[in-house]
Chain A
């Protein structure tokens, strides 16, 4: 009886639509803590959920806190991409925020390094 109830609960939960959730970061390029031989041309973030473009974005800064994006940040579907200027060797900070289409907000930050 208990087992059947649990399985039914799981089935209802899995089949429940429409369902959205917090947008968690699934993949980042470059990744957190990466040490790169060549400077990246962009930062690309992929999330677990579709995003609200107006309320989602990313800022990339150098060690002095200056923005190093080389163009407009694009938010499409479940991804955010920011083109970068030609980055000299140094440490860079990626700060993102994401609002999934059901208005759950998440945020995060990490660093990567470009080697001399």
Chain B
């Protein structure tokens, strides 16, 4: 997100307005979600990936630590490289010794702006904001106060490694670091951080060595995601989080993913869980309508 400061002066506002208008009316080729140079990045499911794209995750099912969540997320590109996401979920929790609680979680609004792409180095850098709107979910499971989490995100493929390391070229990483700021005075702020390490069999097959993989297998990406939360106030506990090894299958229009959820310590949860997701590439399914940016993406 680009934040406009009132102190920036009218000249800056005029410049921003001019850029806005230019972006809206200059035709541009479709910006491919998840593609930077020769690299296709599948959408990660436990952490935010660095793409502002037209896509929908329905559902994301998480079962972990005596709780089962069904989540829905939809992201719509407004300009090429700028998208706004919305998300909501249903929580069903039954902690040991406590009564069962069910209900909808708070609505999330999450704009994201791709700030920098380097195709030759398969690198992308994005900023974003997640706004959990307090009070929009059920009293039983959702906070009454809002939380704002500005974040930076990046993705990097290793296709630029020397040929002597050719079998490492299919590797890629994504990462995100955010600062969660609750509006409730007594709530703790925290650093939300995580990422993914992925090995693209498609990249191996097409760019490094044709191993004769079937079309199905070639579209698999083994992945390990990690997601952590570190409170910044002393006395609010240590870092909690999970490590999620799994597999992503990326088709032409949809993606399927499944991961185990492993807590990193006792405070992070109890036992091994799982997360699974069906993900739709809206820009590929509806390339001439719903899947294009509203402004600046017309043919």
Q: A residues near B, CB below 8 A?
A: 2, 6, 9-10, 13-14, 16, 18-22, 24-26, 28, 31-34, 48-49, 99, 102-111
* B residues near A2, Cβ cutoff 8 Å: 59, 70
Bound: A10/B255 CA distance, A: 11
Render B64-101 as a binary contact track against A, CB cut-off 8 A, 1 for contact: 00000010000000000000000000000000000000
B284 near A110 (CB under 8 angstroms)? no
Q: B residues near A, CB below 8 A?
A: 29-30, 32, 35, 37-38, 40, 58-59, 70, 119, 163, 166, 202, 205-210, 215, 252-254, 278, 280-281, 283-288, 299
B59 near A105 (CB under 8 angstroms)? no
* B residues near A103, Cβ cutoff 8 Å: 29-30, 287, 299
Tell which of B35, B70, B119 has the most Cβ of chain A within 10 Å: B35
Given contact pairs A16-B285, A32-B209, A107-B38, enumerate 19 new A-B contacts (beta carbons under 8 Å): A6-B59, A9-B58, A13-B280, A14-B253, A16-B286, A18-B288, A22-B40, A32-B207, A32-B210, A33-B166, A33-B209, A99-B29, A102-B30, A102-B288, A103-B30, A104-B30, A104-B35, A105-B29, A105-B30
B284 near A109 (CB under 8 angstroms)? no
Bound: A49/B252 CA distance, A: 9
A13 near B285 (CB under 8 angstroms)? yes
A21 near B281 (CB under 8 angstroms)? yes
A26 near B254 (CB under 8 angstroms)? no
Known: A9-B58, A102-B30. A110 touches B208 (CB 8 A): yes
* A residues near B286, Cβ cutoff 8 Å: 16, 19
A31 near B210 (CB under 8 angstroms)? yes
* A residues near B254, Cβ cutoff 8 Å: 10, 13
Q: List 16 A-B contacts (CB under 8 A).
A: A6-B58, A6-B59, A13-B254, A19-B286, A20-B284, A21-B284, A24-B202, A28-B210, A32-B210, A48-B252, A102-B287, A103-B30, A105-B32, A107-B38, A107-B119, A109-B207
A110 near B206 (CB under 8 angstroms)? yes
User: Shortest beta-carbon distance, A93 to chain B, in Å?
Assistant: 11
Interface of B is mostly: mixed
Bound: A6/B278 CA distance, A: 9
B208 near A22 (CB under 8 angstroms)? no
Bound: A24/B34 CA distance, A: 13
Closest to A95 in B: B38
Closest to A33 in B: B209
A26 near B299 (CB under 8 angstroms)? no
Known: A6-B58, A13-B280, A48-B252. A20 touches B210 (CB 8 A): no
* B residues near A32, Cβ cutoff 8 Å: 205-210
* A residues near B58, Cβ cutoff 8 Å: 6, 9
Bound: A18/B215 CA distance, A: 23
Closest to A19 in B: B285
* B residues near A19, Cβ cutoff 8 Å: 253, 284-287
A33 near B210 (CB under 8 angstroms)? yes
Bound: A108/B210 CA distance, A: 13
Bound: A46/B32 CA distance, A: 20
User: Shortest beta-carbon distance, B251 to chain A, in Å?
Assistant: 9
B287 near A20 (CB under 8 angstroms)? yes
The 7 A-B residue pairs with the shortest CB-CB distance, nearest first, are A31-B210, A33-B209, A102-B287, A21-B284, A21-B252, A32-B210, A25-B206
Closest to B29 in A: A103
User: Shortest beta-carbon distance, B20 to chain A, in Å?
Assistant: 23
B280 near A110 (CB under 8 angstroms)? no
* A residues near B202, Cβ cutoff 8 Å: 24
B252 near A22 (CB under 8 angstroms)? yes
Partner of B32, one of A9, A22, A111: A22
* B residues near A111, Cβ cutoff 8 Å: 163
* B residues near A104, Cβ cutoff 8 Å: 29-30, 32, 35, 283-284, 287
